[in-house]
Amino acid sequence: MSTSVLSTDALSARVDTIFHKAGLNALQASAITRVIVAAERDACKSHGIYRIEGALRTIKAGKVTPDAVPELLPQQAPAIVKVDAKGGFANPAFEVGLPALIERAHACGVAALAINDAVHFSALWVEVEALAQAGLAGLAMCPSYATVAPTGGNRPLLGTNPFAFGWPREGQPPYVFDFATSVAARGEIELHRRAGKPLPEGWAIDSDGKPTTDPEVALAGAMLSFGGHKGSAIGTMIELLAGIMIGDLTSPEALDLIGTTTLYPSHGELIIAFSPQAFAAGRAGNPLARAETLFEAILGQGARLPSQRRFLAREKSERDGIVLTHQEMEQLDRLLEQGLDAV
Ligand code: NDP
Ligand code: PYC
């Protein structure tokens, strides 16, 4: 298979140009470029450059506001920061809310950022990593659109509802996990379809509720929650906290609004930041040092930490460049040349 190698800057320039040409303002284009390129750099293919096409389709369909400028809303409660994404992508809204979230979390010990009216398609680890860089532990979560059957059910209702956690570490990358609450992200099913590969068993059911390993059939049927009833309950919690509680759409409502899973859904997101130092104040031991003992014990058994693969991939990409296949390069060239006409 022939491949090309691009630096992070070179890939960013291409992706940013694609989005500028598609009509996004600089704020929207640069924020979604950062998250897509970061995913590609970290070998998170399900949320890397493959996501460009979906973003272009969503722009072309008029389902995202291309010139949105997210607004940090006036503070109504000391530990709640709210950003109105104004119909733009969630990523610039997060960047607008981040400084206030960090400041409030250090001041109050815990604070939350609610993002409303955002179009969402990205990985969440970027956000909890940004909090960890500021010395904060963080949780991030959002609904998606209805594609996952609740355990015991047989039709799409919950979203693939991602859930991410970050914990700061001194002198090394943070402890971060980030996963869909479905067995796999929907992007993984699409990547299997494109590669003509069957799905592993247990990922999905067909429209009659029977198990399937055919990606096409799975996309028309329903995905399954990870860990059965446990993932189903966590997915439901995310609908409650990051949908209903923040006054935004649930996954079934988001699908009803957009009417298709080929465009990106509009909904909210909830990010919670905790100051380990504030919570541990007055108790014995430094929380960050105690966490290291736990991580060492995990590693000591031969297990790996979540994100370890990703940080290694990042190191390699930063050292050697990002490797793209011939097909991926062709696709980038096509999107650069044809813009919205390509989708
Ligand atoms: P994965 O199953 O690929 O990975 C989940 C997490 O588990 C990662 O942090 C991963 O670290 C870690 N992990 C994997 N294997 C091991 C192991 N053996 N030991 C320890 N840790 C391990 O994630 P998903 O496919 O479920 O999700 C991928 C992305 O999709 C996420 O970033 C998520 O935010 C995004 N997503 C976004 C949605 C949206 O609506 N915006 C919806 C659904 C998903 P590592 O990366 O190092 O392998
Ligand atoms: O991969 O499940 C997914 C997904 C849905 C929306 C964005 N990513």
Write the DSSP assignment of 215-236 as a string of letters: HHHHHHSEEEBTTTHHHHHHHH
Residue among 56, 110, 121, 54 nearest 85 (CA):
121
Looking at the structure, tell me whether residues 29 and 106 fall in a common domain: no
Give, using CA atoms, the residue closest to atom 34 of ligand 1: 123
Q: Residue 187's pLDDT is what?
A: 87
Looking at the structure, tell me whether residues 39 and 141 fall in a common domain: no
Count of residues for the chain?
A: 343
Q: Which residues of the chain, if any, have pLDDT below 70? A: none
Which of 40, 127, 188, 253 is labelled catalytic? 188
Span 241-286, pLDDT tens digits: 999 999 999 999 999 999 999 999 999 999 999 999 999 999 999 9
Q: Is the CB of 274 under 6 A from ligand 1?
A: no
Q: Is residue 20 among the annotated active site residues?
A: no
- Buried (b) or exposed (e) across 271-281, using 16+ Cβ within 10 A? bbbbbbeeeee
DSSP run (H or E) holding 191: helix 186-195
Give, using CA atoms, the residue closest to atom 4 of ligand 2: 186
Q: Residue 82's pLDDT is what?
A: 98
| Neighbouring residues of 249: CB distance < 8 A, sequence distance ≥ 6 | 143, 243, 257, 265, 266, 267, 268
Residue 65 lies in a domain: no
Query: Phi first, then psi: what are they for 211, rounded to 5°?
Result: -55, 140
The pTM assigned to this predicted structure is 0.97
Q: Residue 314's pLDDT is what?
A: 98
Looking at the structure, tell me whether residues 194 and 245 fall in a common domain: no
Looking at the structure, tell me whether residues 105 and 191 fall in a common domain: no
Q: What ligand is nearest to the CA atom of residue 45?
A: 1
Q: Residue 312's pLDDT is what?
A: 98
Instruction: For residue 187, give the CATH number of its domain.
Output: 3.30.60.50
β-partners of residue 212 are: 204
Total number of domains in the chain: 3
Looking at the structure, tell me whether residues 153 and 257 fall in a common domain: yes
Looking at the structure, tell me whether residues 88 and 148 fall in a common domain: yes
Q: Is the CB of 121 under 6 A from ligand 2?
A: yes
Give, using CA atoms, the residue closest to atom 32 of ligand 1: 123
Q: Is residue 47 among the annotated active site residues?
A: yes
Span 186-211, pLDDT tens digits: 989 988 998 999 999 999 999 999 99
Residue among 59, 43, 41, 29 nearest 318 (CA):
41
Sign of torsion, CA 46 49 51 54? negative
Which of 46, 106, 207, 292 is labelled catalytic? 46
Q: Is the CB of 184 under 6 A from ligand 1?
A: yes
Looking at the structure, tell me whether residues 170 and 87 fall in a common domain: yes
Question: 164: domain range?
Answer: 70-178+227-303
Instruction: For residue 168, give the CATH number of its domain.
Output: 3.30.1370.60
Looking at the structure, tell me whether residues 319 and 204 fall in a common domain: no
